[in-house]
Amino acid sequence: MNSKTKNQLVAAVIVALIAVFVAWYVLTRQVHYQLMTLTQIDYTPSTAPYLTYTFSQPIAADQLAGNAAILKSFVVAAGSPTPPAGANALIGLLTKGPPFVPNPQSAPNVLTSNTLPAGAPPTPMSITGNGIMWIFVPKKK
């Protein structure tokens, strides 16, 4: 077997192994991400719950129970009670922060969190706009 054929065979084996790994990962991963549209964030640094998230649609309780969530993006509306200049620092911290465990509330489109990122400002804020939150939902078997 010449070196060109041997190199092609090695490349084919490597590609096949990568394909098998990708298929295994996709079929066995334990969570998927559910996108939720966020419309408001209320921040009260001195009183728990520190963060209250309001969504555009109701959230089923089974989507939250024992799961984690993370804020992926949020754009502050022009008419927000807290203007973009004041809100963007907090939003930047929340989008870069670690996932948190959401706490469902009596309103079906509201959840809260007591998880604050390091460096969160001391000023309370009510921020309206449009954002995306990912909720890590276990894969059903």
Q: What is the pTM of this model?
A: 0.72
pLDDT in tens, the chain (141 residues): 788 888 888 888 999 899 888 777 666 555 555 667 899 999 999 988 999 999 988 877 666 655 788 899 999 999 999 999 989 999 999 999 888 888 877 788 888 898 888 899 999 999 999 999 887 766 665
Report the distance separating Cα 128 and Cα 87, nearest Å.
10
Report the distance separating Cα 69 and Cα 13, nearest Å.
39
Which of 33, 58, 54, 34 has its CA nearest to residue 43? 54
